[in-house]
Structures are given as structure tokens and as C-alpha cells.
Amino acid sequence: MKSTRIDRTIVSLFAGLLVLTAPSSSAAESLAGSKGNVRFQPFLPGSPKDECTNAYKAYVAASGHSAYATTFYSRVRDLYIICGSKLNASSQQAAEEIALRNCQAGLTRWKVKTASGGCGIAASK
């Protein structure tokens, strides 16, 4: 009689340990609120109406793989900032590619050339 109680106790302890150590989908962290891998700090004007500021805030708030690309800012030479982003992509690499493409499309659309170069990935997650 005692051996069955001990066996049940041991089995329940191992079952509890297995439940605690087994990976599950609830263990995955949301990326919302994270700045991710910051390669360089993007210049963000203080205006809440600025499109690049809003795009960066949306990037930080996104819960999936996302990226934010912007032109390299040179206070002396560039009077403008062009940016692009991709939110909740299938992978970090896909988000980076699309964000970079969106930024480069802005350069083409507005027919501008920056003194500091083209676009670069500022942050991705």
C-alpha cells in the first residue's frame, strides 16, 4: 500500500517538473515595446505630426518581426529625413528588406539625393 503512494507521489512530482520545463507557445515573448536590434539611433524630430516619428513609434509598438529604415542624417548637409518601415513581417530579414525598399522608394519618389548616403536599417526585431 505504501509503495503505491510513493510511486504516485514520484510520478506526480515528475509530471509537475515536466510541465514546468516543457517549452510551450505561451513562453514566446511578444516583441511589442521592444526597440530590437538598434544599429544606429535614428534622428526623430520632436513633432508628433512627423511621419517618420510616427513610423518609428509604430515600429516599437509592433508585436511581430518589424524593421525601421531611414536616411543617414547629417545636420550640416541634409534638411530632410526619409524613412520606411515594415511591421509584423514573416521574418526579421523580410522586414528589413521591405523597410529598406520603402525608404529607397521615398528617395526615388521625391527625387532627392542625400549627402550622407542612402538609406540604412536603423533598427529591427
20 is written with which cell numbers?
Answer: 514546468
Q: What is the pLDDT of residue 17?
A: 43
Whole-number Å distance between alpha carbons of 59 and 124 = 9
- The string of pLDDT tens digits covering residues 63-84 is 999 999 999 877 666 678 899 9
Domain ranges of the chain: 37-124
Choose the most confident range, by mean pLDDT, from 2-6, 15-19, 74-78, 84-88.
84-88
pLDDT score at 43: 87
Check residue 27 and give its pLDDT: 38
DSSP 47-102: -TT-HHHHHHHHHHH-SSEEEEEEEPP-TTT-----EEEEEEESSHHHHHHHHHHH
Task: Find, among 74, 84, 89, the residue nearest to 109 by Cα.
Answer: 84
Confidence of residue 14 (pLDDT cuts 50, 70, 90): low
- Does residue 122 contact residue 84 with C-beta atoms inside 8 Å? no
pLDDT digits (tens, 9 = 90+) for 21-64: 444 433 357 899 999 999 999 988 878 899 999 999 999 999 99
Confidence check: pLDDT of 20 > 50: no
The answer to whether residue 5 scores a pLDDT higher than 80 is: no
Contact between 105 and 84 under an 8 Å Cβ cutoff? The reply is yes
pTM for this predicted structure: 0.74
Q: Any residues with CB less than 8 A from the CB of 43 and at least 6 apart, and which?
A: 70, 73, 81
